[in-house]
Structure 1
Amino acid sequence: MQIKDFIVDQSLKELTEHRTVVLPIACYETIISQNINGYTPLHWHDEFQYVLVVKGESIFQINEEHITVQEGEGLFINSGCLHMAKDKNDSGCAYICLNVSPSFILSQELYTTYINPYIQATNLPYVHLDAKEIWKKNILDAIVKVNQLIQLKPSYYEIDITIQLALIWRNLIINGFQLEYEQMETLKNHRMKQMLNWIHTHYAEKIFLDDIARAGQLSRSECCRYFKRILKKTPLNYVTDYRIQKSLILLQQSESNVTDVAYQVGFNSTSYFIERFRKSMNMTPLAYKKYKMADSFYGKGT
């Protein structure tokens, strides 16, 4: 089942529980454009994530980097890394998403040696997977197999899944990644999450640049550099965009109105909210609300 509305806490940590009934994993197909935002918003989680694009192409952002992933290619996204995905060129991009708790892949006795060093490494936020190298193709094939096992649930499928997960991990680590551990990179990641956490707690209030910088224990100029480098926008533009994201959910409530929603998400002017909403969504808040209400009505009728 696709997750269309990502629920995250104030630090952007995804709160969706990634598991089946008996296994600490989740595997589902995602059509990016069907997300409530029209894209998969920035978030992070403790689980490893494996992606296989099955249609179209997407641009993924992992921490500061942007990677185009085409049909038949995939990604490994490390635990704790900020990431998001957008459809490229309206390609109707769909991908299989496999999230796995790191502690489930290998036994506790092997975790310290073969998994934890890769989580802690600061030079391994992701691995781009294509079919040109055998070990990468093995990982992509295993993602398909896990997805099939979860859907079909043959006898002993849980055991077969654990075998596939171990094979995926073995293929990943036997290829000689030279792991690095830079304390400054870890600190940067922590400070960025602190600033995002503060914004997501206080977005409905009046926010100043000094507030955001203080949350990350940075100067105003350093705070701006962090946001420009990682998110390619200013801190206050990020605040505005986040408020627009939060408004999408409120606008879909039948009793809501545009003015109330504007003030609930932190805008102190309805006209400014409409202006920024139109710029972000290519329609007014009222048009969006009517579109979603009609979509919901016709959806129930089918």
Structure 2
Amino acid sequence: MVEKGDMTNMSVQSLPSSLKETRTQGTVTFPCTVYRADASASEVPHPFITKVHWHDAVEILHFIQGHFRVRIGMEEYDICQEAFCFVGSGKLHAIYSADGYLEEALLFSPYILESPGVDSAERDLIAPLRRGQLALPLMIDESSPAFCQIRHEYQVCQAIFESRSRIQGDQHMLEDAASQLRVKAALMNILATLSETRLLGEPSGKEDPRLETLKKVLGYIRDHFSEKIYLSDLAQLMNMNEQYFCRFFRMAMGKTPLTYINETRIRQASVLLQSSELPVAQIAEDCGFCSPGHFITAFRKFTGTTPKRYRNQQRVHPASF
């Protein structure tokens, strides 16, 4: 079942990533890859959190098991049964699941599907998808006539990546021609299924244009988290007064600007705690906290533990997010 929900009270233990993912998904010549989040794969229980971000790739999310809260643009959804979610290029999105989750993601650049010819498929489906002129369905669950076929083609892609890809970090690199061709064919079949079942359409044009400006605000926070950040500066980026900006930010993000700033700082601090021997006081200063005491209080609020305990825990059981 897919319902609108509330993500306001997310806790934070995930590692940082840029608001816009600038890394190549897969390889430069074949920008396509897969990811997996499996609660049973870790000895130490932790929530699955993908913070608000966007990328140029199209993403197909497969929610297999567990309860998920998903934000796409300014809408929030509760997902508690198997479903697929399609995230178009440039869409702000975030995911949260507390425990018991199993989720997969397939990301690809629409350019891998293009062909030099101008047949009907290229003209009516692939080119519009590449230009952002084709609206993908938001959610598809078992009630959709397209569900079984999409699941089959999706599983074909996953099986190919699992058996034929080279893994580098969390990246799956698919390099042989036959495997790439089979993945392209499966993606084409997914697009064809969506077209045949009339689940594709034109973009509604209803997305709030302020979301594009909000990306600049989130990017500013990411780039300046180590400094003192003033609400007046953030509001000015969106040409709003502070009161209206705070209301809009909470409506769009499900949290206040201060909460988002602290989450960003805590994520960076968690990286430094794992990857360096810097004293806690130094990490607090480097991450923009006014004092070590404030840092420890905020860190405990968001992670449920102290910076020192977190550092020791990660050395024994490194978290995988």
1:67 paired with 2:89, answer no
SS in 2 for 1:252: helix
Task: In structure 2, give the amino acid aligned to 1:272.
Answer: H
Contact 2:136 2:199 in 1 (8 A): no
Q: How many residues align?
A: 287
Instruction: Work out the CA distance in 1 between the residues paired with 2:317 and 2:277.
Output: 16
Identify the match of residue 142 of structure 1 among 153, 159, 162: 153
Instruction: Work out the CA distance in 2 between the residues paired with 1:210 and 1:48.
Output: 34
1:251 paired with 2:259, answer no
Q: TM-score scaled by structure 2?
A: 0.79
Instruction: Work out the CA distance in 1 between the residues paired with 2:217 and 2:47.
Output: 22
SS in 1 for 2:227: coil
| Paired-residue identity, % | 25
Instruction: Work out the CA distance in 2 between the residues paired with 1:121 and 1:235.
Output: 32
Residue of structure 2 equivalent to 1:56: 66
Identify the match of residue 100 of structure 1 among 86, 108, 131: 108
Deviation digits for residues 164-199 of structure 1 (CA, Å, limit 9, x no counterpart): 1111112223415443453x7362121110111111
Contact 1:64 1:229 in 2 (8 A): yes
Contact 1:59 1:69 in 2 (8 A): yes
Residue of structure 2 equivalent to 1:19: 26
Contact 2:54 2:90 in 1 (8 A): yes
1:201 paired with 2:223, answer yes
Instruction: Work out the CA distance in 2 between the residues paired with 1:295 and 1:17.
Output: 28
Contact 1:62 1:126 in 2 (8 A): no
Residue of structure 1 equivalent to 2:187: 165
Instruction: Work out the CA distance in 2 between the residues paired with 1:202 and 1:21.
Output: 30
How do 1:1-302 and structure 2 match up within 5 A? 5=15, 7-8=17-18, 12-20=19-27, 23-31=30-38, 38-88=48-98, 90-91=99-100, 93-107=101-115, 109=118, 113-115=124-126, 117=128, 120=132, 124=135, 127-153=138-164, 156-174=178-196, 175-182=198-205, 185=207, 187-295=209-317
Instruction: Work out the CA distance in 1 between the residues paired with 2:67 and 2:73.
Output: 19
Structure 1 unpaired stretches of 5+: none
Task: In structure 1, give the amino acid aligned to 2:229.
Answer: I
Cα displacement (A) at 1:274: 0.9
Contact 1:129 1:137 in 2 (8 A): no
Contact 1:55 1:71 in 2 (8 A): yes
Task: In structure 1, give the amino acid aligned to 2:314.
Answer: K
Instruction: Work out the CA distance in 1 between the residues paired with 2:113 and 2:80.
Output: 27
Instruction: Work out the CA distance in 1 between the residues paired with 2:46 and 2:58.
Output: 23
Tell me which moved more, 35-44 or 144-153: 35-44
Cα displacement (A) at 1:21: 7.6
Contact 1:136 1:171 in 2 (8 A): no
Contact 2:136 2:201 in 1 (8 A): no
Structure ranking higher in helix proportion = 1
Instruction: Work out the CA distance in 1 between the residues paired with 2:136 and 2:229.
Output: 31
SS in 1 for 2:138: strand
Instruction: Work out the CA distance in 2 between the residues paired with 1:116 and 1:215.
Output: 33
SS in 2 for 1:185: coil
Contact 2:113 2:188 in 1 (8 A): yes
Higher RCO (CA < 8 A, seq sep 6+): 2
Q: TM-score scaled by structure 1?
A: 0.84
Structure 2 unpaired stretches of 5+: 1-13, 165-175
Change over 3 Å in CA distance of 1:246–1:36 after alignment to 2: farther
Instruction: Work out the CA distance in 2 between the residues paired with 1:26 and 1:177.
Output: 23
Instruction: Work out the CA distance in 1 between the residues paired with 2:315 and 2:29.
Output: 37
Cα displacement (A) at 1:67: 1.9
Instruction: Work out the CA distance in 2 between the residues paired with 1:80 and 1:103.
Output: 15
